[in-house]
Amino acid sequence: MSIRVIEKTVDVAAPPERVWDVLLDDATYRQWTAAFAEDCWAETDWAEGSEVRFLGPGRSGMLGRVVTSRRPELVDVEFDGLVVDGRDDVDSASAREYRGAHETYRLSPVPGGTRLEISAAMGEEHHDAMTAAWDDALARVQELSTVSDR
Domains annotated for the chain, with CATH where assigned, are: 3-146 (3.30.530.20)
pLDDT for the residue 121: 86
Q: Quick one: pLDDT at residue 150?
A: 43
- Strand segments, DSSP code E, in 25-139 are 41-43, 51-55, 61-70, 74-84, 87-89, 102-110, 113-123
* pLDDT of res. 71: 97
Which residues touch 108 (CB under 8 Å, ≥6 apart)?
16, 73, 114, 115, 117
State residue 125's pLDDT score: 78
Question: Which residues of the chain, if any, have pLDDT below 50?
Answer: 149-150
Query: Nearest Cα to 33, choosing from 61, 10, 13, 67?
Result: 61
What's the CA gap between 71 and 60, in Å, rounded? Answer: 28
Query: What pLDDT does 69 receive?
Result: 98
Contact 38, 58 (CB under 8 A): no
Report CA Rg, the chain: 15
The CA distances from residue 62 to 2, 102, 121, in Å, are 16, 11, 11
